[in-house]
Amino acid sequence: MEIIRTNFSKFYNPSEHLAIDEVIVKFKGRVVFKHYIPKKRKRFGIKMFKLCDSTRYISDMNVYLGKDRQRAEQHLTATHTIVTNLTRGGRRIWA
């Protein structure tokens, strides 16, 4: 995952028009961070957040691993944390 993210940022410099997209990657195996969302077409999978350019190029992505305990103590919303981690170029997979 880290190699992919490094190559995304190495080969392309995104424009100022960015969007954050929530994606469920279909996965039926066993991992502790797999999600079940009944209203989605892909009900079981791994939840990811992507930072995309207006040309649909992915410049960064994070895997959602569960509720962040540190964020809850700082009284930050999950949306605020996602946006700041992706736009700052934070290289950690947030949990």
Has residue 47 been placed in a domain?
A: yes
H helix or E strand, kind and range, residue 36: strand 34-36
Please report whether residue 16 resides in a domain: yes
The DSSP code sequence of 46-90 is EEEEEEEETTS-EEEEEE--S--HHHHHTT--HHHHHHHHHHTT-
Task: Give the pLDDT of the chain (95 residues) as one tens digit per residue.
Answer: 778 777 777 777 777 888 888 888 888 888 888 888 788 787 888 888 888 888 888 888 888 877 766 665 666 777 777 888 787 764 444 44
Confidence at residue 90, expressed as pLDDT on a 0 to 100 scale: 46
Q: Is residue 93 in some structural domain?
A: no
Q: Please report whether residue 94 resides in a domain.
A: no
The reply to whether 76 falls in a domain is yes
pLDDT of residue 95: 40
In a domain, 95, yes or no: no
Q: Which structural domain, as residue segments, surrounds residue 35?
A: 2-87
Split into its structural domains, the chain has a count of 1
Question: CA 21, CA 82: separation in Å to the nearest integer?
Answer: 10
Q: Could you tell me if 68 and 61 are in contact, meaning their C-beta atoms sit under 8 angstroms apart?
A: no
Question: Would you say 31 and 93 are in contact if contact means Cβ atoms under 8 Å apart?
Answer: no
Q: Is residue 63 part of a domain?
A: yes
- Looking at the domain assignment, is residue 30 inside a domain? yes
